[in-house]
Structure 1
Amino acid sequence: MNNLRFGGSDVNQKLVLGHPSGLFILFFTEMWERFSYYGMRALFVLFLTSSLLDGGWGWPREHALALYGTYTSLVYLTPILGGFIADRFTGYKWAVIAGAIIMTAGHASMAIEIHPFFMYMGLFLLVAGNGFFKPNMTSIISEMYKDHEDKKDGAFTIYYMGVNAGAFLGIMLCGYIGEKVGWSWGFGLAGIFMFFGMLQFYLAQSIFGEIGNKPLKTKSSEVKVPEGDKLNPFTKLDLIFVAVCSLIGLVWIIDDPVSTISGFTIFNFEFAGYPGATVAIVLAVLLFFVLVVSRIIRYTPKVRDRMIAVAIFSFFTVFFWAAFEQAGGSMTIFARDYTNRLLTGNGAVIFDVFNTLLTVVPLGIITWVIAKLFQQTYGAYKGASAALATSFIIIWGIVIWMLVKELSNPETEVAASWFGILNSFFIISFAPLFSKIWESKYNPSASVKYALGLILLGIGFGALAFGASGIPTGAQTASVSMIWLILAYLFHTLGELCLSPVGLSYLSKLVPARMIGLMFGVYYLAIAIGNKVAGTMGSKIDALTEEYSLSFFFLIFLIVPAAGGVLMIILNPVMKKLMHGVR
């Protein structure tokens, strides 16, 4: 008997694994969205850079990675606007539905390869739809557990397992079908399951009751300010700075791939010998720095110190994601062009067994969760249940077809996109261990966690640098052992577990409650900048390989994060003082 009352309808009070049924509606909706996002991301650079004979577009790596960086950057910027629109106008539920429909259309457009227009239209729709979808799923969870904060951590743990399950399946299946069958089929598969995710959510949305409905227009209440704190409203000059920085930054993010691919640039000027694009982005960064400093010094000392700590964490977050997001760019190219992926004999048998278990066991567990959900919700939501069941019947069909096809071959060529699933696999494997450590007496400070994350990330690139050390300068192909990529993904994931989950957690503890929404936006801005830098740096792979070596290229991503990690360790005493007791 459930004595707890969660937000939402009466059906939502029926528990699955100790949590309200609605959490698992969100789990599977998010799983299919992540399936579509990571499935498309796994194929994007491979498709653009593959030769025309292989069905790709034969783009130079520099062009493909510049566009990749802009896309992944905008994916983290639009949720700031989408969250605002949902809060003020549409409500969370309709924002999620609209975002899912727009993304489904985006994937459909990506599947049409006959003209670049459809690709660019698809990217635009994916970015726009993500802005509505991404921030509002977690908002529904927060509202559902509003009166049970002690259960919220467990709820988000389950939710993020859905994120990783979707990423795992999306990379594996969209990647396999895209590389082995046809690019359009891979892009199209991503859209099919985005549609199923939308359909399931739409048909079951009433389970959330009043949560996420269109907000009522009420008179804004007075903001409560804790004793010793004070409000710091944006001045007209602040807003001008925000507008100028946003405009220049957005134009620069879009102009970068446009100028790289077409040669046309909006910043068609020079200043003191520097190109206009460089001048513009440096100006935007300087204005943003002035804005941040001018606002921080206006707070009371305690809030000011904590805001400085947030700014430092955000700064290092940029460097982490600039290196980590090589996974969808230069590391994917390394997997395709420089890694020996052909296995024969015992090697092929071992891989086939491992890959079969790696696929079937998680999918079996998720199917069991669906059965538990159906026990509670099937009678009330037959349409949503049918949509979810259909999607999993299709998934099992594709998985069985893939495994039979691979097991029947005497030799196995591992898909270049396959290595991307290792991140999700290692997260699922190691997340419980890290969670135990963070809850024990050995829980390190925030600065040490950031330092460990950056250093482990650097070690991963050290493995790639060592593995690539025998590749001649300027080589476009090679055949090194796949162990180096596996080690890289292992250390990158360990670094992610140290840094990524704790970032938003510490942010919510450090800033006043009235500013959490704004500062989440700032944190996502840092991730967006990191993603764009990742694309920009990754696009230099050919230039650096030709002038120095591929090993030198990866050494950059060893040195910069590792140096940042050492600096965070040095700053640890200072950061503790700035955080005023927050652990």
Structure 2
Amino acid sequence: MSTTNNEFFKTNVIGHPAGLFVLFFTEMWERFSYYGMRALLVLFLTTAIMNGGWGWSNENALALYGTYTSMVYLTPILGGFIADRYIGYRWAVVIGAIIMAIGTLSMALIEPFYIYSGLTLLIVGNGFFKPNMTSIISHMYKEHPEKKDGAFTIFYMGVNAGAFLGIMLCGYIGEKVGWNWGFGLAGIFMLLGMLQFYFAQNIFGDVGKKPVKAVVSDIKTEVKSEDKLNPFTSLDLIIIVIISVAGLVWILNDPYSKVSGNSLLDFSMGSIDGSNFTIMTALLLLVFLIVSRIMRYTTVVKDRMIAVVIFAFFTIFFWAAFEQAGGSMTIFAKDYTNRALVGNYALMFNIFNTLLTVIPLGIITWVLFKLFQQTFAKYALSNIFLGTSFLIIWGIVIWMLMNEYSKTETEVAASWFGILNSFFIIAFAPLFSKIWESKYNPSGAFKYAWGLILLGIGFGTLAYGANSIIPGETVIKVSMVWLILAYLFHTLGELCLSPVGLSYVSKLVPGRMIAFMFGVWYLAIAIGNKTAGSMGGMIDQITAEYSLTTFFLIFTLIPIGGGVILMVLNPVIKKLMHGVR
């Protein structure tokens, strides 16, 4: 056992090493920043100029939103590669955090140059940050695999805590005080998170300091036939370059062409315009590349990778619908949901909101105190930055709650509904964890299927709730209950689907192919996110021609249909997996 891990495991904070909670709070502030900014982006873009926004159409705003959310799933592929080969995990995290802090703070200046450059910096910074936090945990627990599940559970609680607080506070400040203050708050906490990580990083010993070099003893001396080398050919590499360039140009051109009226792809191939031709060519080349590489393997490995591709394909449909949370569902909350509460209803909401905010924040503050007991003497500066961030958070929370209690009428912020996903995850994750460990644990295909079906049911509640809304009118507003139910079913769907994805990539794919298939997986999520923006942008058109109910029915029927197809395919997928569960 390395001295690094010996030192790391000497400390104890509620049953885990203190270093894990350094990562916990770093990730928490990064997610605070990401989800806080994300909660505001579409609202800011679509708000009238007289109210401080840019007055964009929903279609244009969601085109930019889709491009941003898709790109943040593509850059980690490159960021992980750079960290592995050149700079190490820790410097990658620090560099990524600095870039993201600058990006979010620049967005606080509101001007077009700063908004666009800020989003670009967030995409780049996320590429360095996102993959390397989990890599540090994996290496810290390399010699303690039995503790790894618990460590990642703690870590992902930090993810949800950050998302919860970021959406609530940045959303509230942005909508009630000023957009620049909301964006600025996200940037400040990203900076504080980086500083607390930087000044406590010695707690990790040598892990993540330098690029990972292959150790001879870690490499199999005998290569099994199913893990045989399958190097990329020159044709493979050429196709990858073409796909990357074509896909990137298409993703960037979508919002650019809608907003500016110009196009980077101003040509046509017969009756097909340049934009459609470019993305169709890229997708066809991607299918060719995946199929050609899979066909080079033995039957068992080939079958298993086909199973991964099937899951990846349905992943696109899940995220295309799920990511409406930051797009069309936010627009529904802003324009079509009755958020004005008076009298006892306002009081009941304020009491609920107080408990919803103070109890989780109190628990996290208690964890912070436990961390201080273990690390303050050795990492005082890191703890000062962390403590300062919590003092600011508590100050904002107390001000926000007192401000709402002083009113006889309250208007719930449109961004507030976004916190429900994190709240429901925290509430229901233990139950789902018990089910997955019991004899009732379903197959991967059935988990995926139920994830899609529950997602569809969530949109079904919105479709039903929107039935009374007249196209083009925002006077008639519906109860908040429909959005709350939608977020509940969406979260239950996410909890069904989340155990399957990346775990099956690691189980089913041979080591020589795993980096490529992880890339394919993140590409599927990126396509889903971009599709979410494109489809969400049709909300006004579909509502005007048909109804808002029709719009949400699309997101009801497609996921449910996908879930039913997966249930039918379950025997085939189990056969393709050759015994892997």
Residue among 373, 382, 391 paired with 1:375: 373
Structure 2: distance between partners of 1:263 and 1:224: 58
Matched with 2:364 is 366
Cα pair 1:108 1:187 within 8 Å, conserved? yes
Cα pair 1:12 1:208 within 8 Å, conserved? no
Q: CA deviation at 1:347?
A: 1.1
Secondary structure (helix, strand or coil) at the match of 2:395 reads helix
Q: CA deviation at 1:546?
A: 0.9
- Residues 350 and 225 of structure 1, relative CA distance in 2, 3 Å threshold: farther
Matched with 2:502 is 504
Q: CA deviation at 1:517?
A: 3.1
Paired letter, 1:486: I
Structure 1: distance between partners of 2:412 and 2:477: 13
Secondary structure (helix, strand or coil) at the match of 1:343 reads strand
Matched with 2:201 is 205
Q: Does 1:131 find its partner at 2:127?
A: yes
Paired letter, 1:159: F
Q: Does 1:474 find its partner at 2:480?
A: no
Matched with 1:163 is 159
Matched with 2:113 is 117
Matched with 1:275 is 273
Paired letter, 1:213: K
Paired letter, 1:194: M
Residue among 232, 237, 240 paired with 2:238: 240
Structure 2: distance between partners of 1:184 and 1:391: 19
Matched with 2:448 is 450
Structure 2: distance between partners of 1:475 and 1:411: 24
Matched with 1:154 is 150
Residue among 90, 96, 103 paired with 1:93: 90
Structure 2: distance between partners of 1:78 and 1:280: 21
- Counterparts of 1:188-227 in structure 2, within 5 Å, are 188-215=184-211, 226-227=223-224
Q: Kindly provide the CA deviation profile for residues 38-71 of structure 1, in whole angstroms up to 9, marking residues without a partner as x.
A: 0000000000100112111111111100000000
Cα pair 1:464 1:484 within 8 Å, conserved? yes
Matched with 1:521 is 519
Residue among 73, 76, 85 paired with 1:76: 73
- Counterparts of 1:169-568 in structure 2, within 5 Å, are 169-215=165-211, 226-229=223-226, 230-476=228-474, 478-568=476-566
Q: Which runs of 5+ in 1 are unaligned?
A: none
Paired letter, 2:102: A
Q: Kindly provide the CA deviation profile for residues 440-494 of structure 1, in whole angstroms up to 9, marking residues without a partner as x.
A: 0000000000000000000000000001111112334531011000000000000
Cα pair 2:100 2:190 within 8 Å, conserved? yes
Q: CA deviation at 1:10?
A: 2.2
Cα pair 2:8 2:205 within 8 Å, conserved? no
> Cα RMSD over matched residues?
1.5
Structure 1: distance between partners of 2:133 and 2:69: 19
Structure 2: distance between partners of 1:218 and 1:497: 35
Cα pair 2:141 2:147 within 8 Å, conserved? yes
Cα pair 1:474 1:549 within 8 Å, conserved? no
Q: CA deviation at 1:5?
A: 7.6
- Residues 171 and 224 of structure 1, relative CA distance in 2, 3 Å threshold: farther
Q: Report sequence identity in percent.
A: 69
Secondary structure (helix, strand or coil) at the match of 2:225 reads coil
Matched with 2:51 is 54
- Residues 453 and 217 of structure 1, relative CA distance in 2, 3 Å threshold: closer
The more displaced of 437-446 and 472-481 is 472-481
- Residues 477 and 194 of structure 1, relative CA distance in 2, 3 Å threshold: farther
Structure 2: distance between partners of 1:544 and 1:31: 38
Structure 2: distance between partners of 1:172 and 1:555: 28
Secondary structure (helix, strand or coil) at the match of 2:341 reads strand
Structure 1: distance between partners of 2:151 and 2:423: 20
Structure 2: distance between partners of 1:217 and 1:7: 17
Secondary structure (helix, strand or coil) at the match of 1:163 reads helix
Cα pair 2:229 2:512 within 8 Å, conserved? no
Paired letter, 1:330: S
The more displaced of 332-341 and 517-526 is 517-526
Q: CA deviation at 1:12?
A: 4.9
Q: CA deviation at 1:216?
A: 6.7
Matched with 2:28 is 31
Secondary structure (helix, strand or coil) at the match of 1:390 reads helix
Structure 1: distance between partners of 2:189 and 2:76: 21
Structure 1: distance between partners of 2:459 and 2:186: 29
Q: Kindly provide the CA deviation profile for residues 201-238 of structure 1, in whole angstroms up to 9, marking residues without a partner as x.
A: 00001111110012276798966564331221111111
Residue among 11, 15, 18 paired with 2:15: 18
Q: CA deviation at 1:272?
A: 2.8
Matched with 1:143 is 139
- Residues 218 and 450 of structure 1, relative CA distance in 2, 3 Å threshold: closer
Cα pair 1:475 1:546 within 8 Å, conserved? no
Q: CA deviation at 1:26?
A: 0.2
- Residues 84 and 428 of structure 1, relative CA distance in 2, 3 Å threshold: same
Q: CA deviation at 1:179?
A: 0.3
Q: Kindly provide the CA deviation profile for residues 232-290 of structure 1, in whole angstroms up to 9, marking residues without a partner as x.
A: 11111111111111111111000111011111112111223121101111111111111
Structure 1: distance between partners of 2:64 and 2:184: 20
Structure 2: distance between partners of 1:265 and 1:6: 57
Q: CA deviation at 1:382?
A: 0.3
Cα pair 2:23 2:155 within 8 Å, conserved? yes
Cα pair 1:337 1:478 within 8 Å, conserved? no
